[in-house]
């Protein structure tokens, strides 16, 4: 089991550029989550999908951020017109979605630096 895979591991963008982050969940997991981690804000929930459908995006900044899950094997988080304050580690997690099997397992994260 390869665990949750996130690519790229590091990304540097210039202010105003677009950044797309990729996540491949653990095979068979039906729920995928995106989080952002910074020193100041800690671990913040962004959004999550269940069986590829968006369930809760209450943590997503209203502008510039979007997430998709086109198939069960990957999800993307896109940030348009990146700003320095978007610099963070973006973490993806996945889980089964039933009973006590809903423990989330995290990927290694993508460290985004916006210059």
Partner 1 sequence: AQKVTQTQTSISVMEKTTVTMDCVYETQDSSYFLFWYKQTASGEIVFLIRQDSYKKENATVGHYSLNFQKPKSSIGLIITATQIEDSAVYFCAMREGDNNNRIFFGDGTQLVVKP
Positions in the binding site for partner 1 (CB under 8 A)? 31, 33, 42-43, 45, 48, 50, 55-56, 58-59, 89, 91, 93, 95, 97, 100, 102-106, 108-109, 111
What's the token pair of residue 64?
A: 């510039």
- Write down the least CB distance from residue 31 to partner 1, Å: 5
Which residue, 43 or 115, is less far from partner 1 as judged by CB? 43
- Bridge partners of 56, per DSSP, are 48
How far apart (Å, rounded) are the C-alpha atoms in residues 89 and 13?
A: 14
Which residue, 50 or 74, is less far from partner 1 as judged by CB? 50
C-alpha closest to that of 106 among 46, 40, 23:
23
Which residue, 22 or 105, is less far from partner 1 as judged by CB? 105
Which residue, 19 or 32, is less far from partner 1 as judged by CB? 32
Task: Please tell me whether residue 23 adopts helix, strand or coil conformation.
Answer: strand
Residue with tokens 């950044």: 19
CA dihedral 93, 69, 62, 64 (to 10 degrees): 100
- Write down the least CB distance from residue 38 to partner 1, Å: 12
Residue with tokens 């017109």: 81
- Write down the least CB distance from residue 29 to partner 1, Å: 11
- Write down the least CB distance from residue 26 to partner 1, Å: 12
């Amino acid at each position: 089991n390869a665990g949750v895979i996130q690519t790229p591991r590091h990304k540097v963008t210039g202010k105003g550029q677009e950044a797309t982050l990729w996540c491949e969940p653990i095979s068979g997991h039906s729920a995928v989550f995106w989080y952002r981690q910074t020193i100041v804000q800690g671990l913040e929930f962004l959004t999550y999908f269940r069986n590829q459908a968006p369930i809760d995006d209450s943590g997503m900044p209203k502008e510039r951020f979007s997430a998709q899950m086109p198939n069960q094997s990957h999800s993307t988080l896109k940030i348009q017109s990146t700003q320095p304050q978007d610099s963070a580690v973006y973490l993806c997690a996945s889980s089964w979605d039933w009973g006590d099997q809903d423990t989330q397992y995290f990927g290694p994260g993508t460290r985004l630096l916006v210059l």
